[in-house]
Amino acid sequence: MMKPRIGGALAAMTLAAGMAGPVAAADDTFKIGVITFLSGQAAESFGVPAWNGGKLLVDMLNEGGRLPAPYDQQGFGGMNIEVVVVDEAGGATKQVQEFRNLVQREEVDAVVGYVSSGDCLAVPPVADELKAFTILYDCGTPRVFEDGSYDYVFRTAAHATMDNVSLARYLKSRNFDVPSFAGLNQDYAWGQDSWADFTGAMTQLYPDAEVKTALFPKFGAGQYGTEISALLRENPALVHSSNWGGDLQGFLIQATARGLHERAQLALAAGDHVIPQLQDKMPDGIFLGARGVNGLAAQARGGELKELTDTMWEAYEAEYGTFPVQAPFRMWQALFGLKTAVEKAMAENGGTKPTSEELAAAMKGLSWDAPSGHIEMALADGHQAIQPNAIGTTKWNADAGKMELVDVEYYDARCVNPPEGIKSQDWLAQGFPGAQCD
Amino acid sequence: MRSKLFLGATAAFAVLAAGSVILPDWAMFLCAMALAKGLVCLGIVGMMRGGVVSFGQGLYYCIGAYTATLVANSFGVSDIFLLTLLSALACLLVGMAFGPLLSSYRGIFFAMLSLALSMVLYGSLSKMSVIGGTDGLNIAAPTFLGWAPEGRPLQTALYIYVVAIVVIAGTLMRIYFDSEQGLITLATRDNELRVEYLGASVRNIMTYNYVFGAVLGGIGGTIAALALGHVDPEFAFWTTSGEFVFVAILAGYLSVPAVFVAAIILELVRSFSNLYFPNTWQLALGIFLLVVIVLLPNGLGSLVGRRKGNAA
């Protein structure tokens, strides 16, 4: 039999692979592993703009002195930032393997990544096992910290409950009459959860509103002729959708062609990221969220974060010829948070590169400013961020040739996020106990 | 012949087990995952010897993974031996239910029907938000007969466990392949009608092969789930099944060890292309697959067979 010979080849091969070993970062370099979608449906909408924004910020930080205080120090506490980028496409199985490779083979000092909720659920146990400091920068599911607790894992963006609670609050604060509503959401966890959050919030704020229909076309369906017919027939006052990317673009173009937006109010929980693609094909008068005070809502906000926001906005426009939407904002708030944590840890340990333990201690309960507002690690024992949110109404400015957001309402982080110690679904069911809205 | 086989198996175990000492952490994990997937592929190879390819082996990979996860989460069972046994049993039952149905189909009909079954499971799991829907759910690290290691010892234990199963399963399958039944399978590939005329039941043989594939798939899925700590419906998705088929084709049906070598090669190529070509790793992987198919149409196993001048 040939077993020994093949076994020998196998051993030689794996040994060779082992010797193509890691290059640990030097003490004056902070190495981060970034995981985001570079291929697949989520690449155009989230992964690529997020990393465009991230790359830009890393370059600006490495150069030093291009950002206003408190981010005027070069790199992370004077250390150069080095980045290894990995594609998030391929599913949770592949991501767990890639995570191990980043930590054990590439020996990164921190991992920043994950748009997909499935990946965000799969990676944290491994991060804790390897004691690897990890930031989840984008994914939505509240389950990460509601079903588990991790020492080395932090999410620097609010979870998705905020998106739909804000949308419902926007309707209420604009005195929008909602006798009935319907939903069109993608048939996977994101769409199902968004619809559950939205109906949960509506039950509290509009107890008499009737749910006409809840449609769940397949993820990536692209064709919504049947669904639009159903929506036109049911004739709800409002249509909710958390669709994103090509699915949202397809739905909007097909719905406007058939006049759905004139017969029902469209409310999009996370729709801002398709504006650069759709431009004036995005109809006026849509209620629009951006999963935080991101994109157009951040630019319209002004205030004390104006300088930071404008610096990033202008650099992004100059570099990529389009304006930044939600994804780069969420990447920025993760990197600014990481920078703040690294520098805090270095102030405490005497200026050497912090270990994972020191980083985790510094990150816990941290708060910092980002272009998207004041971020606080307020939930899950200091591991889950809350952040303010904004909803606005689209209005095409034909003179300037660009989309604007009007009638923007800003919501305090504690108004649209559940307080510590209560699960999002319970918080919705109990009528937002502890919500602080002024 | 038999003693040579056991000698080979022992040597293979020794070589693979040595990996637990010499391999760095990431490579040991990669090998453990590759070997677990290799088990599933070994099941496909068993069917390939009879001339059919299952495009839905993700069905059993997924049933195994979900059985282990649901049992672990509902009843607090964490023993890897018990979980593997339960998953294998679940897959045995499902395999025995579908085996007789599928065994009368050949070629593309067999492939598509098996694919359809796995996609039915994928669709159903995606809809079940009680168990996480498309996001899936987590499973805690396994224990070994009451021993609960952490860190490197846990990875080592898992690796040794999968190596032991791979060697046992590989040896058993080799014995089966060389048995009367196994040789009839090979004959079926050449001329099914003649085999029937000789008095053997091709349907029975095909059912056996399918059921063995089911059990191997379930074991592979259980180990993969325990190693990853997470399961999701992607386990049953056609791309997962497609990957198994690819490994089987890469290995060819001539050699058992080739299956596991092929599985490890695929994982290594994917891992490194992902790192060095983050934007074009699919392209790199695709080119690798094409080159292998062009240069080795009968798979890696043919390298061994050619030298031996013996194709069994």
Question: Tens digits of per-residue pLDDT, A66-125?
Answer: 999 899 999 999 999 999 999 998 888 889 989 999 999 899 999 999 999 889 999 999
CA distance B264 to chain A (A): 9
Compute the distance between CA of residue A286 and CA of residue A11 in angstroms, rounded to an integer. 61
Q: Over the stretch A343-368, which tens digit does the pLDDT of each residue have?
A: 999 999 988 999 999 999 999 999 99
Q: What integer pLDDT is reported at residue B279 of this predicted model?
A: 78
Greater confidence, B91 or B135?
A: B91
CB A143 within 8 A of CB A377: no
CATH H-level, domain A161-290+388-429: superfamily: Response regulator (3.40.50.2300)
CB of B146 less than 8 A from some CB of A: no
Average pLDDT, chain B: 90
Strand order in the sheet with A110-113: A80-87, A29-36, A110-113, A134-136, A153-155, A384-386, A373-379, A367-370
Cβ <8 Å between B138 and A122 = yes
Is A125's CB within 8 Å of B267's CB? no
Given the structure tokens 């240069």, which residue do they identify? B295
Band (A10; pLDDT cuts 50, 70, 90): very low
As a whole number of angstroms, the distance between CA B29 and CA A22 comes to 16
B238 touches chain A (CB under 8 A): no
Nearest-Cα residue of chain B relative to residue A21: B24
Closest CA to A83 of A54, A104, A44: A54
What average pLDDT does the structure give for chain A? 91
Contact B230 A192 (CB under 8 A): no
Ramachandran area for residue B140 (φ above 0: left; ψ -120 to 50: alpha; else beta) = beta
Which residues of A fall within a CB distance of 8 Å from B40?
A: none
For residue B286, what pLDDT is reported?
Answer: 85
Put simply, the answer to whether A121 touches B265 (Cβ < 8 Å) is no
Measured from the Cβ of residue A263, the count of other Cβ atoms closer than 10 Å reads 14
Question: Which is more confident, B281 or A273?
Answer: A273
Task: Verify whether the Cβ–Cβ distance B264 to A13 is below 8 Å.
Answer: yes
- Which residues of chain A lie closer than 8 angstroms to B134, CB-CB? 118, 188-189
CB contact under 8 A, A188 and B26: no
**Which residues of chain B have a CB within 8 Å of the CB of A122?**
136, 138, 228-230, 232
Q: Computed over its alpha carbons, how large is the radius of gyration of chain A?
A: 22
Test A188 with B150 for CB contact under 8 angstroms.
no
Alpha-carbon distance values, B161 to A209, B140, B166, B176, B224 (Å): 57, 17, 9, 22, 12
Residue A15 predicted with pLDDT over 60: no
pLDDT at residue number A166? 95
Task: Write out chain B residues lying below 8 Å of A39, CB-based.
Answer: 279, 282
Strands (E), A290-349: none
- Contact state of A2 with B271 under an 8 Å Cβ cutoff: no
What sign does the CA torsion over B121, A228, A325, A392 have?
Answer: negative
Residue ranges of domains in chain A: 24-159+305-386, 161-290+388-429
Chain B residue nearest residue A119, CA to CA:
B135
Mean predicted confidence (pLDDT) in A206-232: 93
Per-residue model confidence (pLDDT) at position A128: 92
- Find out whether A283 and A266 touch, Cβ atoms under 8 Å: yes
Using an 8 Å CB-CB cutoff, list chain A residues near B66.
Answer: none
Measure in Å the smallest separation between the Cα of A103 and chain B Cα atoms.
8
Inform me whether the C-beta atom of residue B2 falls under 8 Å from chain A C-beta atoms.
no
State whether residue A11 is helix, strand or coil. helix
Q: Is there a contact between B133 and A105 if contact means CB atoms under 8 Å apart?
A: no
> A96–B228: do the CB atoms touch at under 8 Å?
yes
Q: Which residue is closest to B130 within chain A, CA to CA? A: A189
Mutate which of B16, B25, B26 to test chain A, going by most A C-beta atoms within 10 A?
B26
- Is B151's CB within 8 Å of A129's CB? yes
CA B174, CA B255: separation in Å to the nearest integer? Answer: 9
B125-151 CB burial, b ≥16 within 10 A, e <16: bbeeeebbbbbbbbbebbbbeeeeeee
> Is B134 in CB contact (< 8 Å) with chain A?
yes
Using CA coordinates, name the residue in chain B closest to A100. Answer: B26
Q: Between chains, do B141 and A129 touch, taking CB under 8 Å as contact?
A: yes
Helices H / strands E in chain A, number of each: 18, 15
User: Nearest C-alpha of chain A: how many angstroms from B203?
Assistant: 30
Q: Is the pLDDT of residue A54 over 80?
A: yes
Q: What is the pLDDT of residues B164-202, one digit of tens each?
A: 999 999 999 999 999 999 999 999 988 899 999 988 899
Task: Show residues of chain A in contact with B275, CB under 8 Å.
Answer: 84, 86, 101, 106
User: Cβ A10–B16 below 8 Å, yes or no?
Assistant: yes
pLDDT at A127: 94
Side chain identity, residue B37: K
Chain A CB contacts of B258 under 8 Å are: 6
Interchain CB contact of B4 with A (< 8 Å):
yes
Given a cut of 50, is residue A41 above it in pLDDT?
A: yes
The pLDDT assigned to A422 comes to 93
Contacts of A103 in chain B (CB under 8 A): 26
Q: How many helices (H) and strands (E) does chain B have?
A: 13, 2
In this complex, which of A14, A147, A192 lies closest to B23 when CB atoms are compared? A14
pLDDT confidence bin for B1, thresholds 50/70/90: low
B30 touches chain A (CB under 8 A): yes
**Sorting pLDDT into bands at 50, 70 and 90, what band is B290?**
confident
Residues in A closer than 8 angstroms to B261, CB to CB, are 6, 9-10
CA pair distance A93, A77, nearest whole angstrom: 35
- A2 vs B29, B127, B255: nearest CB: B255
Please state, in angstroms and rounded to a whole number, the distance separating the CA atoms of residues A146 and A384.
10
- How far is C-alpha B40 from the chain's CA centre? 1
The Cα of B130 is separated from the nearest Cα of chain A by a number of Å equal to 11
Pick the residue of B134, B238, B259 with the most A CBs within 10 A to test the interface with A by mutation.
Answer: B134
Domains A24-159+305-386 and A161-290+388-429 are alike in CATH topology: yes
CA distance B152 to B146: 17
Are B154 and B29 in contact by the 8 Å Cβ rule? The answer is no
Nearest CA in chain B to A98: B271
Q: How far is A100 from chain B (nearest CA, A)?
A: 6
Beta-carbon pairs below 8 A across chains A and B: 169
A312 burial via Cβ count (<10 Å: 0-12, 13-18, 19+):
buried
Mean pLDDT over A133-144 rounds to 93
**Hey, what CATH topology would domain A24-159+305-386 get?**
Rossmann fold (3.40.50)
Inter-chain CB proximity A101 and B30 less than 8 Å: yes
Cα separation of B215 and B89, whole Å?
7
ipTM: 0.81
Q: What one-letter code names the amino acid at A301?
A: R
Q: pLDDT exceeding 90 applies to what percent of chain A?
A: 82
Condensed to tens digits (0 to 9), the pLDDT of residues B216-255 reads 999 999 999 999 999 999 999 998 999 999 899 889 888 8
In B, which residues are within 8 Å of A3 by CB distance? 8-9, 11-12, 257
Q: Contact B217/B60 with Cβ under 8 angstroms?
A: yes
CA–CA distance, A333 with B164 (Å, rounded to integer): 47
Residues 251-270 of B with CB under 8 A from A: 255, 257-258, 260-261, 264-265, 267-268, 270
Coil vs helix vs strand at A250: helix
Q: Vertex A52, ends A48 and A58: CA angle to 5°?
A: 140
Collapse the DSSP code of A44 into the 3-class scheme (helix H, G, I; strand E, B; otherwise coil) and give the result. helix
Check A125 against B11: CB less than 8 A apart. Answer: no
Task: Tell me the average pLDDT across B204-220.
Answer: 95
Q: Which of A260-269, A325-334, B150-159 has the lowest mean pLDDT?
A: B150-159
What does the pLDDT look like over B105-116, one tens digit per residue? 988 999 999 999
B135 contacts in chain A (CB < 8 Å): 117-118, 121, 141, 143, 189
